């Protein structure tokens, strides 16, 4: 494991330590059968499996304790929307598009020809694109394109939270969360398809820190869950 992923995983031990004002909560969708199989899902629109539904329920119960959430966003992918819907139903909120806002900038990495392949078998091929972040995956997007759209979304929402005083909540994917963590932690590495910050059904917080931002892992229903978004 790289030093970078050691740093990202160390955030689990810091959960709740900062005491700073939280500007955004970011949740990863629950497990799917393709997580279990180690398959790169990308734009494959798969639903949560039974364990993923339990993870979504546990995550919803954790989120229910957080007050004053300003807006709720989700990736349009079914696995993210279904995770978000578990929370919305628990707190008695509608899942229509005005209340649960779908935003395509929260979509997972578009890995093109690698989608549907077993992650371990594709690892060396994927590394070529991680090492050359401006080169798009065949029939997909580049790491830089992912990073740019992810930061465009969160930069706006973090500024809104500062101005309006309430955090947003977003339901998204492993690659999006890792890209956001890389940006906040000032990483020049690109681990978005080969590592993870938080497991399926997990939750991170983005908070103010000395004029910038910090992140912490707040919750994971089952740390042993398979990786890959």
Give the start-to-end residue ranges of the domains of the chain. Answer: 3-219
CA–CA distance, 124 with 144 (Å, rounded to integer): 19
What is the average pLDDT across 17-37?
A: 85
Instruction: Reduce the secondary structure of the chain to three states and give it as a string.
Output: CCHHHHHHHHHHHHCCCCCCCEEEEEEECCCCHHHHHCECCCCCCCCCCHHHHHHHHHHHHHHCCCCCCCEEEECCCHHHHHHHHHHHHHCCCCCCCCCEEECHHHCCCCCHHHCCCEHHHHHHHHHHHHHCCCCCCCCCCCHHHHHHHHHHHHHHHHHHHHHHCCCEEEEECHHHHHHHHHHHHCCCCCCCCCCCCCCCCCEEEEEEECCEEEEEEEECCCCCCCCCC
Higher pLDDT, 13 or 128: 128
Please check the confidence at residue 186 and state whether its pLDDT lies above 90: no
pLDDT at residue 173 in the model: 96
Pairing label, strands 22-28, 168-172: parallel
Predicted confidence band of residue 222 (pLDDT cuts 50, 70, 90): low
Q: What are phi and psi of 204, to 5 degrees?
A: -120, 160
pLDDT of residue 8: 53
Fold of 3-219: Rossmann fold (3.40.50)
Predicted local distance difference test score (pLDDT) of residue 21: 86
Q: Is the pLDDT of residue 189 over 60?
A: no
pLDDT above 50 for 229: no
Strand 168-172 to strand 71-74: parallel, antiparallel, or no bridges (unpaired)? parallel
Among 83, 71, 76, 67, CA closest to 32: 83
Mean residue pLDDT across the chain: 85
Q: How confident is the model at residue 226 (pLDDT cuts 50, 70, 90)?
A: very low
% the chain with pLDDT above 70: 84
Residue 80: is its pLDDT beyond 90? yes
Q: Which of 101, 103, 93 is nearest to 60 (CA)?
A: 93
Q: What is the mean pLDDT of residues 124-152?
A: 92
Rounded CA separation 201/221 (Å): 6
What CA–CA distance (Å, rounded) separates 147 from 165? 26
Position 10 confidence tier, pLDDT thresholds 50, 70, 90:
low
pTM above 0.75, yes or no: yes
Sign, CA dihedral 163-164-167-173, equals negative
What does the pLDDT average to over 120-136?
87
Q: What percent of the chain has pLDDT over 90?
A: 55
Q: Greater confidence, 97 or 62? A: 62
pLDDT, tens digit, for every residue of 31-47? Answer: 999 888 888 888 888 99
Q: What is the rounded distance in angstroms from the CA atom of residue 64 to the CA atom of residue 44? A: 29
CA distance 137 to 156: 27
Answer yes or no: is pLDDT of 55 > 90: yes
């Amino acid at each position: 494991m790289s030093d970078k992923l050691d740093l990202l995983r160390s955030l689990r031990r810091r959960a709740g330590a900062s005491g700073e004002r939280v500007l955004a909560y970011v949740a990863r969708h629950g497990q799917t059968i393709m997580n279990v199989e180690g398959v790169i899902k990308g734009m494959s629109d798969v639903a949560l499996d039974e364990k993923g539904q339990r993870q979504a329920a546990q995550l919803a119960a954790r989120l229910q304790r957080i007050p004053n959430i300003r807006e709720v966003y989700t990736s349009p992918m079914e696995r993210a929307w279904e995770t978000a819907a578990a929370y919305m139903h628990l707190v008695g909120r509608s899942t229509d598009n005005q209340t649960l806002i779908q935003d395509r900038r929260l979509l997972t990495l578009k890995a093109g020809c690698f989608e549907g392949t077993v992650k371990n078998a594709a690892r060396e091929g994927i590394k070529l694109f991680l090492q050359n972040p401006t080169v798009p995956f065949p029939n997909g997007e580049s790491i830089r394109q992912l990073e740019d759209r992810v930061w465009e979304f969160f930069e706006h929402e973090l500024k809104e939270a500062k101005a309006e005083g309430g955090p947003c909540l977003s339901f998204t994917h492993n690659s999006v969360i890792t890209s956001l963590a890389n940006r906040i932690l000032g990483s020049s590495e690109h681990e978005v398809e080969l590592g993870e910050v938080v497991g399926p059904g997990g939750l991170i917080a983005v908070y103010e820190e000395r004029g910038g931002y910090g992140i912490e892992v707040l919750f994971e229903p089952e740390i042993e869950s398979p990786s890959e978004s």
